[in-house]
Chain A
Amino acid sequence: MVFLTLSCLIRSRGPDRYWKVQELLKNARHFRGRKNRCYTLAVRAVRRAFVYATKGRVLKRHNMRTLWISRIAAATREHNMKYPTLIHNLGKTSIELNRRMLSELAITEPRTFLSLAKVAQARREEGFRAALGDGKEPAGVFSRVVVTH
Chain B
Amino acid sequence: MSNFSRSAQQWATFARSWFLIDARMQPPGKIATMCAVRLKGKHKPIYHALSDCGDHVVVMNTRHIAFSGNKWEQKVYSSHGGYPGTFKQVTAAQLHHKDPKAELPEDILANLTEELPQPRDIPRTLSQYTQEEKDAFPRLWT
Query: Could you say which interface size class chain A belongs to?
Result: 10 to 19
Is B75 located at the chain interface by the 8 A CB criterion? no
Structural contact, A71 and B43, CB atoms closer than 8 A: no
A112 → B minimal CB distance (Å): 12
B residues contacting the other copy or chain, number (CB 8 A) = 7
A75 touches B45 (CB 8 A): yes
Asked whether A49 is an interface residue with its Cβ less than 8 Å from the other chain, the reply is no
Residue of A nearest to B48 (CB): A67
Q: Which of B43, B45, B46, B48 has the most CB of A within 10 A?
A: B45
Interface residue B77 (Cβ < 8 Å from any Cβ of A): no
Interface string of B18-45 (1 = CB under 8 A from A): 0000000000000000000000001111
CA distance A67 to B50 in the complex (A): 12
Residues of A within 8 Å of B42, CB to CB, are 70, 74
* B48 with A74: CB separation less than 8 A: no
Is A103 part of the binding interface, using a Cβ–Cβ cutoff of 8 Å? Answer: yes
A67 contacts which chain B residues (CB < 8 A)? 47-48
Assembled-state Cα–Cα distance A75/B42 (Å): 10
Let me know if B46 and A78 touch, CB within 8 A: no
User: Per-position contact with B for A72-106: 1 when CB-CB < 8 Å, else 0?
Assistant: 10110110000000000000000000000001001
Chain A: minimal CB distance from B21 (Å): 16
Q: Which residues of B contact A (CB under 8 A)?
A: 42-48
Interface residues of A (CB under 8 A from B): 67, 70-72, 74-75, 77-78, 103, 106-107
Complex A-B, nearest 3 residue pairs according to Cβ-Cβ distance, in ascending order: A75-B45, A106-B45, A71-B45
